[in-house]
Amino acid sequence: MERVKFLVKAPEAFVLTLLSGRGFWLKNIKRTGGEISFFAKQNEALKIEECLNKANVKFIRQGDFGVKTGAESLLKRFGFLIGFALGLALIALYSLTVFGADIHGLEIVEAKSVHAVLKNEGINFPHLRLKKDADKLSLKIVELSGISHASVSVNGSRLVINVTEELPYEAPKDTQTPISVIAQFSGVISKIITVQGTPLVKVGDTVKKGDILIAPYIKSPDGTEVPLRAIGEVYALVWHQKHLYYPDTVIRQVRTGKTEVKTATNILKLNYLPKTSFVNYDYEQHTRQVLAIIPFSIIKTTFYETTAKETQFDFNKEKDLIVAKETDLLISSVPKHLRQGAEGKTWHIAKRVDNATRLSIYYELNQRICTAVQVSAPHS
């Protein structure tokens, strides 16, 4: 409903009686000092003005309100309309623009050859996207040697290229040349299964990395050695270990208390670190997204000046955390396929040495230790 706001300087009772007596509708009546304000229907505004004038009442018609009036006044704001249209045009332009390419599925073929195809097709970023481009591009990428399929699509402002490579050529495997099974790790043999060949170790033997576990021959009844490929599985208790030293004093970068704040706008979500006058520093960055559609953000970077300072290191205070972290690192340093299904246990020893603490972490694992390796010359 279109409404008009009036501000009247007269006693409230008089104004309300006068206007309601004439049948006018008054709403949102507010009293401020000696004045009252109210809203009236727009089609009654002229009659209200006439009525107030006749009664010699001072009033101000403050403005028109409502959807229609608002729309009309908005249409008169050319600057706003031009800005709004420009904004819409920019959003449309952004949504139709591709700012970079993400290539997935490449292992053998180099990414630069796909980029070269994009360049040859005249696609330099930022690039206005067209559906025809995507179809044509897939065909051109498939023409590259080593690629069997390519699909090109646009995801947001990125060109997404999914590539399937041709299977690499594999030479036929030699399964006949006699080779030994050797130890990949040092340990104590816990289990040995010989499928083919002559085992040179038994359960309980200590082996070093590189020792031959199963030799690539068998003895014939007449005592001659017949060369063949050694095949088998050998398991051993292996002790993975690491030794770390923690000095009692350490040099650490500590904040001096001086800070420097730099604020910058960022449009394309690029990593940006402004320059600082500090030589040694650490920093914190806070990003505030301004608009949801356009990737326009404000980055506030706070630099903290730091200086090197010798500080005491209390190993015992942080021991639990260090041991847990280093044990996890030690376990994860062992290839996953060796750990899967294998029994393992860990322990540590912390010992004081000169002005430092020596931490030794052990990981005992009953694991597969063998690998098949060709000896320099076939055994005869």
Partner 1 sequence: MSFFNDTVLKLGLPHDNFVGGDKVSIFSGKGAFIEGHKGVFSVSEEEIVIKLKKEKVYISGNGLKITEINASEIYIIGKISGILRGQ
Interacting residue ranges for partner 1, rule: CB under 8 A? 11-13, 16-17, 19-31
Minimum CB separation of residue 61 from partner 1 in Å reads 19
Beta strands 231-247; 26-32: pairing state:
unpaired
Question: Closest Cα partner for 338 from 316, 377, 370?
Answer: 370
Q: How far apart are the first and last CA of the chain?
A: 106
Q: How far is the CB of 31 from partner 1 (least distance, A)?
A: 7
Measured from the CB atom, the residue of 20 and 176 that comes closer to partner 1 is: 20
Torsion angles phi and psi, residue 353, rounded to 5: -125, -170
- Judged by beta carbon, residue 26 or residue 373, the one nearer partner 1 is 26
- Taking the complex as a whole, the smallest distance from the CB of residue 49 to partner 1 amounts, in Å, to 18
Which residue lies nearer to partner 1 by CB, 28 or 287? 28
Pairing assessment for the beta strands 158-165 and 100-104 based on DSSP bridges: parallel
Least CB distance to partner 1 at residue 41 (A): 10
The C-alpha atoms of residue 203 and residue 199 are separated, in whole angstroms, by 11
Beta partners for 194? 232
Nearest to 231 by CA among 367, 340, 373: 373
Q: How many CB atoms lie within 10 A of CB 15?
A: 23
Buried b (16+ CB within 10 A) or exposed e, 154-166: beebebbbebebe
The DSSP call for residue 171 is P
Closest contact distance (angstroms) between CB of 6 and partner 1 is 13
CB nearer partner 1, residue 30 or residue 77: 30
Give which of 357, 236, 259, 362 is closest to 305, Cα–Cα.
Answer: 259
Instruction: Return the number of the residue (24 or 362) whose C-beta is nearest partner 1.
Output: 24
Phi, psi of 329 (to 5 degrees): -65, -40
Q: Minimum distance between the CB of residue 62 and partner 1, rounded to whole angstroms?
A: 18
Return the number of the residue (28 or 241) whose C-beta is nearest partner 1. 28
Short-list 274, 336, 324, 269, CA closest to 296: 269
Q: Which is nearer to partner 1, 13 or 377 (CB)?
A: 13
CB of 70 to partner 1, least distance (A): 22
Q: Which is nearer to partner 1, 25 or 246 (CB)?
A: 25
* Residue 23 C-beta: closest distance to partner 1, Å: 4
- The smaller minimum CB distance to partner 1, of residues 30 and 252, is found at 30
What single string gives the DSSP state of each residue in 199-260? E---TT-EE-TT-EEEESEEE-TTSPEEE---EEEEEEEEEEEEEEEEESEEEEEEEEEEEE
- The nearest distance, CB 30 to partner 1, in angstroms, is 8
* 248: β partners: none
1: Cβ contacts below 8 Å, ≥ 6 apart: 41, 66
Shortest Å, Cβ 12 to partner 1 = 4
| Of 23 and 204, CB closest to partner 1 | 23
Going by C-alpha positions, the residue among 164, 144, 160 that lies closest to residue 152 is: 160
Omega of the bond prior to 227 within 30 degrees of 0, cis? no
